[in-house]
Structure 1
Amino acid sequence: MTSPTPAAVLWDMDGTLVDTEPYWMTAERDLVASFGGSWTAEDGLTLVGAGLWHSASILRGRGVDLDEQEIIDHLTERVLEQARRSIPWRPGARELLLELREAGIPTALVTMSMRPLAEHIANDFDHPVFATIVSGSDVEHSKPHPQPYLKAAAILGVDPRDCVAIEDSEPGLASATASGAVVIGVPAHVNLAPSPSYTLWPTLAGRTVADLGEAFAAHTSTAAEGVNR
């Protein structure tokens, strides 16, 4: 008996699909330094998975004398410049995306990065792989609020509870879990604590649509048992 397949797969971008977190950290460090401050790698890790408005507020508190929108625009452009030179795909992510496309399972890109960067990453294929993009430009509430994932599911016309979401950060996991999706955490730059709310995979390398189906089936079975108790 085969495992049921999710109605859609919802992907985080930075750190999950592509390893652009070092690009963000470099942009943050250089921006703070341009105003005479210091920004360490440890500082950068505290912003992994956070919305850009939150990040901009933190950077202003570290002496960056720009308004929040100017900070967001500056960081986005710097990261986009680096991504134009090289898109650092995470192991197994590109392959799994293409397998989902071949299987006819719709996917959405759900990122708190701004739309220009999201579109650049999404367009690195010969054919479209994402049915929709929900970016930081498109929501009022950033992760860990569930709005980004709820919006993606609504655009696709599916129940979020019938979707799998893939994330690499605590804010992202919280957002996806709160939306009702079946969640898979794949850590990159920050450790993720084990939780019954999501499944942890050490990497996407070698993972297949069948693996997603098994994770989806296991979670839905556990959830049904909890309701029936």
Structure 2
Amino acid sequence: MTDLLPAAVLWDMDGTLVDTEPYWMSAETELVESYGGTWTGEDAITLVGSGLWHSASVLRNRGVGLTDDEIVEHLTTRVLEQIEISIPWRPGAWDLLVALKTAGVRTALVTMSIRRMADRIAEALPFAAFDFVVAGDEVAHSKPHPAPYLRAAELLGVDASQCLAIEDSTTGLASAVASGAVSIGVPLHTPLEDGRGYTIWPTLEGRTVADIAQLFSSAQTSVA
């Protein structure tokens, strides 16, 4: 039987499409220290994959004297300044995106970064990579809630169970799995545990549309 392609592939951004997590960590450290606090690498890791307003609340509790909205805007601006210098694309992500678009597979970007950040990354690609973008300031609930992925599926006009999601963090994967999407974890800054409703690929480098189809078909068969 021929392997079936998903109706759409839903991409996380930070840590999956681009390795911007060090930019966020640097911005967090700079901000907390500017208010006399301490922010370690271990602290930063706990926020990987989280919604920015959750992160802002954590930073306020570390002494940052700004509102949540002000913190989100400040961090985003600092990360965008670093992106203007260099966009650290993840290995294999660009090639797989091109292959999916060539094969006619629809795609969406599902990120907890705010819209101006998401648009900047999407516009840096020299082709129309995404049919839709779901940003963190446009959903009522951030990851690990399934709302971001359910919204992407809604915009695409398909059921989330007919989609495949690619994530790098346990928080993001919890969101994707809860939405019903077949999910792939590509670990980067935090380890991922197998057997949690998703498949781990150590890297996207060398991965093809055929690999996506095979995984999606296998997942559909196991559910059936």
Coarse TM-score class (shorter-chain normalised): over 0.9
Asked if 1:123 is matched to 2:123, the reply is yes
Structure 2 unaligned regions, length at least 5: none
Deviations 1:94-120, CA, capped at 9 Å, x for gaps: 010011111110100000001111001
- Matched letter for residue 206 of structure 2: G
What residue in structure 2 maps to residue 46 of structure 1? 46
Separation in structure 1 between the aligned mates of residue 20 and residue 126 of structure 2, nearest angstrom? 21
Taking the aligned partners of 1:2 and 1:22, their CA distance within structure 2 comes to 41
Q: Does 1:167 align with 2:167?
A: yes
1:56 and 2:56 aligned: yes
Q: How far apart are the structure 2 equivalents of 1:125 and 1:47? A: 27
Letter of the structure 2 residue corresponding to residue 84 of structure 1: E
TM-score of the two chains, using structure 1 as the length reference: 0.96
Question: Between Structure 1 and Structure 2, how many residues are aligned?
Answer: 224
Amino acid at match of 1:85: I
- Where in structure 2 are the equivalents of 1:1-229 lying within 5 Å? 1-224=1-224
Q: Secondary structure at the match of 2:137?
A: coil
Question: What CA distance in whole angstroms lies between the structure 2 residues aligned with 1:48 and 1:60?
Answer: 17
**AA paired with 1:222?**
S
* AA at the equivalent of 2:64: V
Partner of residue 227, structure 1 = none
CA deviations over 1:155-207 (Å, ceiling 9, x no partner): 01111101000001111011000100000000000000111511100000000
Unaligned runs of 5+ in 1: 225-229
Q: Distance in 2 between the 1:153 and 1:81 partners?
A: 31
Please give the per-residue CA displacement for 1:65-108, whole angstroms capped at 9, x wherever unaligned: 10100000000000011111111000000010011111110100
- 1:133 counterpart SS class: strand
Aligned Cα RMSD in Å?
0.7
Q: Which amino acid aligns with 2:21?
A: E
Measure, in 1, the Cα distance between the counterparts of 2:174 and 2:160: 14
Identity of aligned residues (%): 62
Cα distance in 1 for partners of 2:20, 2:27 equals: 11
TM-aligned CA deviation for residue 124 of structure 1: 1.3
Runs of at least 4 residues off by over 3 Å: none
- Structure 2: how far apart are the matches of 1:41 and 1:204? 25
SS at match of 1:90: coil
Q: Distance in 2 between matches of 1:214 and 1:100?
A: 14
Structure 1 residues 218 and 196: CA distance shift in structure 2, 3 A: farther
